[in-house]
Chains A and B, each alone.
Chain A
Amino acid sequence: MNRRTDRHLANTLAQPGITADFNARDWEALIGQARTSDLLGQLAEVLRDAGDAVSVPEPVRFHLDAALRIAALHRQSLQLELAVIASALAVLGEPVVLLKGGAYAVAGLRAGRSRLFGDIDLMVAKASLDPAEGALFRRGWRPTHLNAYDQRYYRQWMHELPPIEHFTRGTVIDLHHTIVPPTSGHIPDPARLIADARPVQVAHCPDIFRVLSPVDMVMHSACHLFYGELQKGLRDLYDLHCLIGEFSVEEGFWAHLLPQARAHQLEYPVLLALRFARRVFGTAVPEAIAEECDRRLGRRWTGALTDHLIDASMYALHPSSDSTWRRARRHILYARSHWLRMPLHLLIPHLAYKAFIHDEARVG
């Protein structure tokens, strides 16, 4: 009676009602998968929203509650951090676009609810990168990559500067000038992304922050997922599921999504995102768009192979869903985030503590 638990997380996020017949082992698998996928906060939100429709055992509730508490603290410190950043960058006199987790949170999007993230990602026009970095240096941020080669590599080949870290608080900012590395061969138009971005209000902040337009946000999220290392595959795909679900009621969203992605030369990741969000979370996609997805992806000879690889990465990395988990060295965000760092040397001085921040080991 070994029933499958390997898809519990994705299935519960999509349909919390399936937990109705969960036993203790099912809940253990669910919570474990959510922890290692950095989705525990999001799971807690989904189960809370479901209200009386699901009944969560008391010991399980403790962990969901813990995740909500962490997320609330995380959100608090994000807001304080943004206040400092805004007062530093107001001198630029131009908009600063918040990307990814920070954007989802301040825009009040479902994808941002109780979602943890490590770095604050900001995008400014390329010409403003150096002044922006300088302004942040004056407020206590410092380069993390000090060697000249790293510095040159980032500045020449990447879509962002080397991360900078606050010397007392440890918060990390990634300054971007576009949304995908130039080396990827795709050339989105940053000026247009910034021009299309929407203003967003952040408490205690001068009015400088923007978030990408819905279509661009989905596009960026898809790029991040499929041009990244798929480490947080399920989490990133869940972001897309939430974004698409929330934006699909916006006028013109579906009409513009694929054409605009094409205009920025980023259609492929968007097509993949739609296909996999449907497959894993059952995300609602209009029939015509779904057909177009299949048609266009189907023509690529690499289609089947890509599907297989991506499919595999969408499983949560956890003993209950990953047969090679023993070799998987996963670093759960809440345990390594500099925002939540704890001085454990007091307790465990004897152990060489792994460097959680920059030692993001791979699975396998």
Chain B
Amino acid sequence: MSGAPLSSLSRSALHDRLVSPDGLRLHIGRFVTSIRSRHAQVAEGLATLYADYRLADDDRFCDYAVEVGRGDGLRKFVRPQSLFRFEGMQPFKPLPGDQAFAMLEWGLNWVFTNHAQHYLIIHAAVLERDGQGLILAAPPGSGKSTLCAGLALRGWRLLSDELAMVGLEDGLLLPLPRPVSLKNRSIDIVRALPGDPVIGPMAHDTAKGTVAHLKPPRTSVEEALTRVQPRWVVLPKFEAGSECAVQPMGRARMFMSLVSNAFNYPRLGVTGFQAMGRLVEACDGYTARYGSLDQIVPALESICSRPA
């Protein structure tokens, strides 16, 4: 990862790369991804949120080439769409043109999850402190991303806000830091937090309401090749007005909770079962109900500062 950061490109140079045949080539975690798009919103989102990501050298093999297109024929001028393409495939139906950057983020999620066969992949936010990993696993709507953003802005290293990638052989967590996906009210909550949060383009009226992304801290991006030993698994559950209640969770229950949030667990067969078993062995598990970030962040930091 020796190249200059994306922020070294002028806006016109960024645009030129995005429309060139080779695309804009960025190091994202351990992968080099080529991005092509004529959507101004994609350029804006990249300039804002990916400023610290390194440009790949010309002779580096590109792992994945993706494109966010505008649609066919006249449509691209009259009423542009956001069309995600990978290797000539279109895994998703098009979205409206003003959701182009969100489409890029979701498309990249799909690309990374579909190709990382070396990992057990769990739908979870992952952060690191003092060399130890915290996995926040929960279904959508649990406040996981907001909490993840809150911790990242307090100096935890962000590994991912969506994907815990657990090495099948070494059991370590692979960082794949990307912008943190926020929706609706949590956008304003995070914007108001200390730590100078930078928020990218807003996509309104998606199936989830308004979606925007938080820029990952620079150190998270720069340390993206350093893997992390998993240490804690927390299942957060936001309930408006609730008191904070953090409780230990048994390993069998932790196992089942993680299985229900694991993408490729079924496909990995007994290998996945064993990898999950090792992960659970390595971690202390907790459930955490909370009504505000002010309660839960100190509670988690207290758990995570106890000696192993």
Contact = CB atoms under 8 A, between A and B. Distances in A.
- Report A-B touching, CB under 8 Å: yes
B114 A351 contact: no
B226 interface: no
B229 interface: no
Contact of B61 (A28, A35, A77): A28
B123 interface: yes
A320 to B, nearest CB: 10
A335 B114 contact: yes
Contacts of B85: 326
A23 B22 CA distance: 14
Interface string B44-65: 0000000000000011111101
A62 interface: yes
Contact of A342 (B72, B93, B114, B162): B114
A290 interface: no
B116 interface: yes
A73 B267 contact: yes
Interface centre among A35, A342, A353 (most CB of B within 10 A): A342
Nearest to A349: B140
Question: Is the interface on chain B under 10, 10 to 19, 20 to 34, or 35 or more residues?
Answer: 35 or more
A343 B259 CA distance: 11
B263 interface: yes
Interface stretch (A63-71, A153-161, A202-210): A63-71
Interface centre among A328, A348, A352, A354 (most CB of B within 10 A): A348
A305 interface: no
A231 to B, nearest CB: 13
A59 interface: yes
A256 interface: no
Contacts of B89: 36, 329-332, 335
A53 to B, nearest CB: 20
Q: Is the interface of A mostly helix, strand, loop or mixed?
A: helix
A24 interface: yes
A352 B93 contact: yes
B65 A349 contact: no
B195 interface: no
Contact of A349 (B87, B117, B163, B207): B207
Interface residues of A, number: 49
Contact of A353 (B65, B91, B95, B211): B91
Given A330-B87, A348-B109, A353-B92, A339 B117 contact: no
Given A59-B60, A318-B87, A346-B123, A32 B65 contact: yes
A3 interface: no
Interface string A328-364: 1111101100011111101111111110000000000
A317 interface: yes
B61 A59 contact: yes
A322 B59 CA distance: 23
A326 B87 CA distance: 9
A328 B86 CA distance: 11
Nearest to B264: A342
A188 interface: no
Given A63-B115, A350-B206, A318 B140 contact: no
Contact of A325 (B61, B88, B116, B211): B88
A319 interface: yes
Interface string A9-40: 00000000000000110011000100110000
A36 B64 CA distance: 13
Contacts of A346: 123, 139-140, 261, 263
Nearest to A343: B263
Given A66-B116, A344-B263, A352-B93, A28 B65 contact: yes
Contacts of A342: 113-114, 263-264, 266-267
Contact of B118 (A69, A330, A341): A69
Contact of A351 (B59, B60, B62, B95): B95
Interface string A237-271: 00000000000000000000000000000000000
A76 B267 CA distance: 10
Interface in B195-214: 206-208, 211
A341 B267 contact: yes
Contacts of B140: 346, 349
B224 interface: no
B32 interface: yes
Given A347-B162, A351-B95, A70 B60 contact: no
A57 interface: yes
Contacts of B88: 36, 317-319, 322, 325-326, 328-330
Contacts of B93: 351-352, 354
Contacts of A329: 88-90
Contacts of A341: 266-267
B246 interface: no
Contacts of B269: 73, 76-77
Contacts of A319: 65, 87-88
Contacts of A335: 89, 91, 114
29 contacts: A23-B59, A24-B58, A24-B61, A24-B62, A28-B61, A57-B61, A60-B61, A62-B118, A63-B63, A63-B115, A66-B117, A66-B118, A76-B269, A319-B88, A322-B88, A326-B69, A330-B88, A335-B89, A335-B91, A344-B113, A344-B263, A346-B123, A347-B106, A347-B110, A347-B263, A348-B106, A350-B106, A350-B207, A352-B93
Interface of B: 32, 58-63, 65, 69, 72, 85, 87-93, 95, 102, 106, 109-110, 113-118, 123, 139-140, 162-163, 206-208, 211, 261, 263-264, 266-269, 271
Given A341-B266, A346-B123, 19 more contacts: A24-B60, A24-B61, A36-B89, A63-B63, A65-B118, A66-B115, A69-B117, A73-B117, A73-B271, A319-B65, A330-B87, A330-B88, A335-B114, A339-B267, A342-B267, A346-B139, A347-B106, A347-B263, A350-B208
